[in-house]
Structure 1
């Protein structure tokens, strides 16, 4: 079983989230947990935790020198990396935006779990 966690929160929340990842690992045999984080500091915290298989950075704050083309290509590259992993579950840890819900849908995950802030997002993500 493969689980993708979309974690775009900050450093403090990442520390509080570690026991949840550990519980997933302990309760499901042969589970692979990958996580998408929003910045390098959170990446570094999760990197020290052995229960995570892969960590990807999806940053909204690209360097100012990055142009639209490089940002777009970077996001497309990340999407295809995630799509090829064929996740069973998509878990969004924040108030899910439509973008996060659509990402889970486009990745083809069997189940998407998160917080539906809008009626449309509630149709995309199991709340």
Structure 2
């Protein structure tokens, strides 16, 4: 009679498994994890690109949910990726492609906002 009550009390005190991250948060979290891991392997002159990528994906997370715990999201995204046997290489390609697309888009905006002056004709 006491055993079922004891088991019920233990179950109530056991930490609940959090639900899976929303897909977009998990994907952006994995980008940050992959870039952070790669950053320690690159020469110092190449690290700013990865730091910009980490900041970009952190901004996406904060933009969706201002109160998000980014550190906890990274931990969960990493664990979920491992559990699902996801390839870091696949995430690296996906994340790199997204950053390149954003960079291209920003380059177009920069060209419209701050166009290069037209060359002046040479007068003899």
Larger C-alpha radius of gyration, 1 or 2? 2
Quick check: which one's strand share is greater?
1
Q: TM-score, normalised by structure 2?
A: 0.29
Q: Which has the higher contact order (CA 8 A, sep 6+)?
A: 2
Q: TM-score normalized by structure 1?
A: 0.28
Q: When you count helix as a share of all residues, which structure comes out higher?
A: 2
